[in-house]
Chain A
Amino acid sequence: MSNAAARIPLLRFGTVLFAPSTAITEIGANPPSSTAVFFGAAIWLGLCPPLFAYIGTSLFGWRLGVEPMFLAPATLRAIALAYLALLLVGFLSTAFVAHWMAATYDADSSFNRSLALVTLVGTPLTVGSIVHLYPNAFLNVLVLVPTLIWSMYLLYRGLPALLKTEQGRGMLMASALIAYLLVAWVTLLGITAVLWSHGIGPQVAT
């Protein structure tokens, strides 16, 4: 690992995933700058899901319980890019929302801390996205649901330490962030449905 990476505990996946207390303490005590979080960790983690999905869908097609559904290469590229863009928008908007909410919950509103928190919380999901390499819908749900629960645990566990607030306030703020994320996710479903019903959707390869 390079010196730069070694300075960012967020990139030590083993520590983040399996010894979160250590990672949370380290990041909370010495939070990296916004630039270091974004370019040193978040962007690389964010690249994983679209990349894995692109490779998996090219090789195996979408598997929704019937025969595999192969997509046209142009569609595949467009979906991968849209996926990356949405992850980045989701990542940054969640960090902004945490930054905005911080005053209400008497937390540290430094933007770099909010970015570090969202990166920490997103790590299990982005690492778990390796399951996209075989895009069987149910297998993906099966793997990503436990990773989502692990991410939620990191949110509740990590927020008070990273944003320097009391446990009770941290629990409230974490719940408010979950509400935001659920609404954001449902909005995404809605936008997808609107685009789809207007003819903008995946083109199946023939």
Chain B
Amino acid sequence: MTTALEPKRRTIYEDRIVTAFTASSILWALLGMAAGVYAAAELVWPVLNFDLPWLTFGRLRTGHTNLVLFGFGVSALIGTSFYSVQRTSHVRLLAPRLAWFVFYAWQLTIALGAWSILAGWNGGKEYAELEWPFDIAIAVIWVSYGVVFFGTIARRTVAPIYISNWFYGALIIVIAMLHIVNNLAMPATLSKSYSLFPGAQDAIVQWWYGHNAVGFLLTGGFLGMLYYFLPKQAEQPIWSYRLSIVAFWAFVYSYIWAGPHHLHYNAVPQWLQSIGVIMSLILLAPSWATMINGVMTVSNAWRKLQTDPGLKFIVVALAFYGLATFEGPMMAIRSVNVMSHFTEWTIGHVHSGALGWNALITFGTFYYLVPKLAGRPLHSAALANAHFWLALAGVLLYILSMWGAGLSQSLLWLSLDDVGEVRYSFVEVMRAMAPYYALRLVGGALFLAGTVLMTVNFARTFAGVRTVEVTPPLPAAASHGEPTPTAVTAS
């Protein structure tokens, strides 16, 4: 009997690459968040740039966003998608060598890309600042990622394609499309290129990219993570699988139109701005459908909260997801946007999503994943709990200080004197913001401190062990009445 099963037993999931992506994601999180905290400190004490171009706020802030978005966020997404796609397809990852190419090439691109930004290379498009050599490298890596991911799904031994794979798949396809189109440019030198799109069209394409990078990477990609790891952690099937499918298609259809709301009161057609507003408001429905699905799934798993430190992160991440996906459409309304745009309110909104949703869901997932990969329990639940409270306090301090700063800014900017001139100069308003910036610095530092605790905890969990080898379930076992969790609970 053992001999008959032996060939199947030799198939093991390719999980070492998941460990590698998890480790690199945490490394970039530490560096990226530290860069953010340092940039925040520069807004309180400008002397901290020491008159060094590499340390100026403009470069450091861009380095921060690139490291956390593409280093921390994307590494986490690729790693978790490789983990879950194998288990939901019951097969080993297609072309492991290509997957390892994705890993090393991505890390090299992030490291050199961060260096290039600090050195002053900048394409001038937000969240797409990397210059053309990096854009080509990213396109190649991303397509390779797609080949591995979709190739694995194509080889699956179970019929259904689980919902998390739909979200990860949308992430891969749409980001490839956005990245390639938005970065079409004419290189002038190694470090400088010019967009193929002129004037306002360039702005429209940029925010079609920018908002959908938020949509399909920071929302869709992380929903893929949620739909696999939440049911696993909660040991409950998704509350409504049908709702998750409906929400997916509504999400995909409506998100892609919302970009023009970044261009209110700009030189783009009014009708285009209005479409951006309407589709942003419609977007609330699929966003909240997903939130309700998550909340109801976890509401049946309350006993696990006592034993699973990661589940708390996911519960709170869902609350911030609800907040950010409500706040975003609201800020797309023109008469709200006239006040919020260019103020710190926007920065607070972005971080309620980035810290409250993306980072917390990733931390929660890692707290599940790392003990599985290491094959031993988490080193310290107490450290994980301390991390949770530091992260929660940090994100709340951050967004509250930015709400306060944003409202004060808009009040001061919109104040006119008796002859209709702006009452306060830019410098006066900037000076008035300093206390809020100090509070934001404290919030960011608390969040970073929590991430350091998590890193120590994982390092101790993994000390001296290798990634555990796991085999796919045998088809014979599945056919003998074992649950087929890919359909509803993500095997």
CB pair B333–A190 under 8 Å, yes or no, is: yes
For A175, give its contact among B315, B408, B415, B418 (CB under 8 Å): B315
The reply to whether the CB of A142 lies closer than 8 angstroms to some CB of chain B is yes
Instruction: Indicate whether A186 reaches chain B with its CB closer than 8 angstroms.
Output: yes
Q: Which residue of B299, B330, B428, B429 is within 8 Å of A105 (Cβ)?
A: B299
Q: Which residues of A contact B326 (CB under 8 A)?
A: 183, 186-187
B404 CB within 8 Å of chain A: yes
B246 to chain A, nearest CB (A): 21
Q: For B318, what are the chain A residues with a Cβ–Cβ distance below 8 Å?
A: 175, 179
**Known A-B contacts A66-B412, A190-B336, A194-B336; A171 and B312 likewise in contact (beta carbons under 8 Å):** yes
A186 B327 Cβ-Cβ under 8 A = yes
Contact flags B428-460 to A (C-beta < 8 A → 1, else 0): 110111111001000000000000000000000
Verify A64–B319 contact, CB threshold 8 A: no
C-alpha spacing A105/B336, complex, angstroms: 35
**Contact yes or no, B340 A193, CB < 8 A:** yes
Residues of A within 8 A of B2 (CB): none
Interface flags for A151-187 (1: CB within 8 Å of B; 0: not) read: 0100000000000001111011001101100110011
- Docked-complex contact A171 and B302, CB < 8 angstroms: yes
| Interface residue? A189 (CB, 8 A) | yes
A167 vs chain B, min Cβ distance (A): 7
B397 on the A face (CB < 8 A): yes
B431→A65 contact, CB < 8 A: yes
B323 touches A198 (CB 8 A): no
Q: Chain A: interface residue count, which band?
A: 35 or more
For the complex, give the distance between the alpha carbons of A149 and B327 in Å.
22
Q: Closest chain A residue to B338 by CB distance?
A: A197
Instruction: Type the 1/0 row for B403-416, where 1 means its CB is closer than 8 Å to any CB of A.
Output: 11001101110110
Contact A186 to B323, CB < 8 A, known contacts A65-B435, A171-B305:
yes
Q: Which residues in A have their C-beta under 8 angstroms from that of B403? A: 189
* B92 to A: closest C-beta gap in Å: 37
Q: For residue B329, which residue of chain A has the nearest CB?
A: A190
Evaluate contact between A141 and B439: CB separation under 8 angstroms. Answer: yes
Whether the Cβ atoms of A64 and B411 lie closer than 8 Å is yes
Closest to A197 in B: B335
**Which residues in A have their C-beta under 8 angstroms from that of B275?**
none
Q: Does B295 contact A (CB under 8 A)?
A: yes
**What are the interface flags for A81-111 relative to B under an 8 Å C-beta threshold, 1 for contact and 0 otherwise?**
0000000000000000000000011000000
Residues of B participating in the A interface, judged by any CB pair closer than 8 Å = 295-296, 298-299, 302-306, 312, 315-316, 318-320, 322-323, 326-327, 330-331, 333, 335-336, 338-340, 345, 393, 396-397, 400-401, 403-404, 407-408, 410-412, 414-415, 418, 424, 428-429, 431-436, 439
- Shortest 8 CB-CB distances between A and B: which pairs? A65-B432, A168-B302, A179-B319, A138-B435, A168-B305, A197-B335, A193-B336, A193-B339
30 A-B pairs in the complex with CB atoms less than 8 angstroms apart = A64-B411, A65-B412, A65-B432, A65-B433, A65-B435, A66-B429, A66-B432, A69-B415, A105-B299, A137-B404, A138-B404, A138-B435, A141-B404, A141-B435, A145-B400, A148-B400, A152-B396, A166-B302, A167-B305, A168-B302, A168-B304, A171-B305, A176-B319, A179-B322, A182-B319, A182-B323, A183-B326, A193-B410, A194-B336, A206-B418
Please report A residues at the B interface, Cβ cutoff 8 Å: 64-66, 69, 104-105, 137-138, 141-142, 145, 148-149, 152, 166-169, 171-172, 175-176, 178-179, 182-183, 186-187, 189-190, 193-194, 196-198, 204, 206
